[in-house]
Amino acid sequence: MKELTCIVCPRGCRLTIDDELNVTGNFCPRGAQYAKDELTNPKRMITSFVRVKNRKDTVCSVKTSCSVPKGKIFDVMNEIAKVGVDAPTHIGDVVIKDVLGTGADIIITKNID
């Protein structure tokens, strides 16, 4: 048996999951799915920043459009470190499409005029 704290919502349910992927302690179905995913294929959202090439000492925040496999986090971060953007930027602009074949886009989260 494995114990987890659900991070899907602020409630923080204490989950217990057995070897057959039966989950207890969840107050919603999302908690059960989180526990199963965490044991079989853990994923995380990534937040970071990219350089703004046409502005001195300026960076722009970015994030993944969806969760990526936990084992690819450092590879995705290396891809993000390779790119820069030009101002102006707008929230939702795609910086990298389908990064490393994960299905996640790297998107801008800050407007820069």
Q: How far apart are CA 112 and CA 62, in angstroms?
A: 12
**Residue 96 token pair:** 């990298």
Q: Give the percent of the chain with pLDDT over 70.
A: 100
Cα separations in angstroms, 24 against 7, 11, 49, 75, 102: 15, 15, 38, 34, 30
Beta bridge partners of 60: 50
Q: How far apart are CA 104 and CA 65, in angstroms?
A: 5
Mean local confidence (pLDDT), 61-75:
97
pTM (whole model) above 0.75: yes
Q: What is the pLDDT of residue 57?
A: 92
Q: Dihedral angle at the C-alpha atoms of 85, 48, 62, 94, nearest 10 degrees?
A: 70
Q: What is the pLDDT of residue 63?
A: 98
pLDDT band at 37 (very low <50, low <70, confident <90, very high): very high
Domain limits of the chain? 2-40, 47-108
Q: What is the mean pLDDT of the chain?
A: 95
pLDDT band at 69 (very low <50, low <70, confident <90, very high): very high
Are 84 and 50 in contact by the 8 Å Cβ rule? The answer is yes
Q: How far apart are CA 7 and CA 76, in angstroms?
A: 22
Q: How far apart are CA 33 and CA 100, in angstroms?
A: 25
pLDDT tens, position by position, 82-100: 999 999 999 999 999 999 9
Query: Is CATH 3.10.530.10 correct for 47-108?
Result: yes
